[in-house]
A and B are shown apart, each in its own frame.
Chain A
Amino acid sequence: MDAYLFIDFGSTFTKLTLVDIEKEEVIATEKSYTTVETDVTIGYENALKKLNQKVSGDYNIVKKLACSSAAGGLKIIAIGLVPELTAEAAKRAALGAGAKVIKTYSFKLNSSELEEIKNSNADIILLAGGTDGGNCDTIIHNAKMIEKFSISIPVVVAGNKSSNDEIKEIFGEKVEYYITENVMPNLNHINVDPARETIRNIFMKKIVHAKGMENVEKSISGILMPTPAAVLKAAEALSMGSRDEEGIGDLAVIDIGGATTDVHSIAEGAPSKPGVVLRGLEEPFAKRTVEGDLGMRYSAMSVFEAAGIKKMKKYLKYDDLDIEAEFKNRYTNTSYVADDEKEIDFDEAMAKVCADISMKRHAGVVEAIYSPMGMMYAQEGKDLMELPYILGTGGVIVNSKNPKEILQAAVFTMEDPTSLKPRRPKFLLDKNYILSAMGLLTTIDPNMAVRMLKKYIVEI
């Protein structure tokens, strides 16, 4: 039988998903530790060996595609003009490309900021600034500074189109650059997709080589995108469908990992009630936010800081644990696996805190304004109140016995009355942990990806 093999080089695990093309079924999944320090090929082959033992019968792999977040994933520095406008738009484009935004800069950059950029471990710089036909000075100044400090990081230029020619001249042969469409072509309207694709292409062609992946590239067809981008693609496919297949409509994905919690929403987020005025920058239809301080292991201490003991107690069943010590233990021992009931309960309480806070930060807020005409409401961000689905993924949710309870923490409560979190969503589960694999499948056969997603993502 013919099969596709999808590989996800994660920070901890290399995960394989083998898919039967004709039956559109997952034949098997397998994982092994990622071996990025030596050669990722080792971890990949270990996983492959285990996979072969599982599968009975012969299969012929037609295509092997991979996504990767190993070695810290894709790190981007975003530069814009006004912090709330082009700098924010650049940041959203980078997040949508599956990157980790290590810092956002705005206005004209100075030498110490350039030193900081030079000494950072960023993989790509996303340079924006000005609407089309708007401000040119700042982006040109910043391009000159990048050239002057001989920055060797590839630069994606996604700013005012009127400044592109001058930037080409400034960069010349000295700076590696890629020009794409403006992230904010006119005020408050964002255009993140072209920048997203450009970033993905650079990732595919250049970044993976620099991450000790060149050996494994020979044995597979290609590392196409960062893992979060694959998850976002899968979420988009499930929500919107493809040319021939119907999607299931608006949804949000909560992905709780060891270091971060990602939330993706595929929804317009327009006000669900009348009499609400929208404020602030337009939201991308497919939006991703990353909470670098919310994660089950590497970020355990910052979860403790963000949540506090009170919030943890709200979700804990047992109250005789030393909460701070439990967090410390998970932070210092990142490969820790909870095994008894109490420890599992603690892990799940942490996951609930992550779901709760990450959704609060992702969803919009509504603010009451007292005006001479009576009370008015202004909404900033997406209104997810009527969102029909929340889909859970990530180890702690997938392996939990009560995934629904964890996701329930992301729902609106009267504790945050101004938050526009979903109120009565149904819950879905990525039971087989195949979301990133399906994101990769959308690049070969989007119709099949939608059908498989609808088959394997189950309601809980």
Chain B
Amino acid sequence: MEKKKVVLGVIGSDCHAVGNKILDYSLTDAGFEVINIGVLSPQEDFINAAIETNADAILVSSLYGHGEIDCRGMREKCEEAGLKDILLYVGGNIVVGKQDWNEVKQRFLDMGFDRVYPPGTPVEEGIRDLKEDLNITE
């Protein structure tokens, strides 16, 4: 079967590169084709990459607390760009300070993200969800 494609990157003015490399490695190892656009990536770069490569999912990382501002309007832009049913995941330290996780999660779900992950989530969990959402059976 053809490999499923995911666009991976760190959004906004965030330059945390280590987690990005770990995700790249783990996802590739799990059988995905990873298009890693790296750190300091604006929304447009994720979307353009997904258009050209015909990707199945966009995985957004944010570690510096500004994720909420950076991610706003992303689903709408995807719709505008013709990426109708693309999966949108987000994870990391996506908000400022200690806030109630359930509320945070709900805010991101309302923004149109399909999956939202708190800090400290094991990579395996995301991969398991991704396989489920993309109907990959091994």
Q: A: which residues have CB within 8 A of B?
A: 81-82, 84-86, 130-131, 133-136, 184, 186-188, 277, 279, 369-373, 376, 378
Contact = CB atoms under 8 A, between A and B. Distances in A.
B53 A133 contact: yes
Nearest to B96: A372
Most-contacted residue by chain B among A84, A135, A184 (CB, 10 A): A135
Contacts of A187: 35, 37, 49, 52-53
27 contacts: A81-B51, A82-B52, A84-B48, A85-B48, A86-B52, A130-B53, A131-B52, A133-B5, A133-B53, A133-B54, A134-B53, A136-B54, A184-B52, A186-B35, A186-B53, A187-B37, A187-B49, A187-B53, A277-B38, A277-B39, A277-B40, A279-B40, A369-B13, A369-B40, A370-B13, A371-B13, A373-B64
Contacts of B54: 130, 133-136
Given A187-B37, A277-B15, A372 B53 contact: no
B68 interface: no
Contacts of B65: 372
Given A82-B48, A133-B53, A133-B54, 7 more contacts: A86-B52, A130-B52, A131-B53, A187-B49, A279-B40, A370-B13, A371-B15
A377 B40 CA distance: 10
A135 B40 contact: no
Contacts of B13: 369-371, 376
B15 A376 contact: yes
Contacts of B39: 277
Nearest to B33: A133
Q: Taking each of B2, B39, B40, B66, which has the highest tally of chain A beta carbons within 10 Å of its own beta carbon?
A: B40
A366 to B, nearest CB: 13
A188 B52 CA distance: 10
A186 B33 CA distance: 11
Contact of B51 (A133, A135, A184, A370): A135
A279 B54 CA distance: 21
Q: Which 10 interchain pairs have the tightest Cβ spacing?
A: A134-B53, A371-B13, A134-B54, A135-B54, A82-B48, A131-B53, A369-B13, A187-B35, A372-B64, A85-B52
B37 A188 contact: yes
A279 B38 CA distance: 9
A138 B5 CA distance: 18
Instruction: Please report whether the interface of chain B is mostly helix, strand, loop or mixed according to DSSP.
Output: mixed
B37 A135 contact: no
Contacts of B2: 133
A85 B55 CA distance: 15
Nearest to A82: B48
Given A188-B37, A371-B64, A372-B66, A135 B52 contact: yes
Contacts of B114: none
A127 to B, nearest CB: 15
Contacts of A131: 52-53
Contacts of A84: 48
Contact of B15 (A86, A130, A136, A373): A373
A374 to B, nearest CB: 10
B48 to A, nearest CB: 5
Interface in B59-84: 64-66
A204 to B, nearest CB: 31
Nearest to A188: B37
A85 B54 CA distance: 13
Contacts of B5: 133-134
Interface string B24-61: 00000000010101111000000011011111000000
A459 to B, nearest CB: 40
Contacts of A373: 15, 64
Contacts of B49: 85, 187-188
Nearest to B47: A82
B74 to A, nearest CB: 17
A188 B9 CA distance: 13
Contacts of A188: 37, 49
A135 B53 CA distance: 6
Contacts of A135: 51-54
A130 B51 CA distance: 8
A134 B35 CA distance: 11
B41 to A, nearest CB: 8
Contacts of B38: 277
B35 A82 contact: no
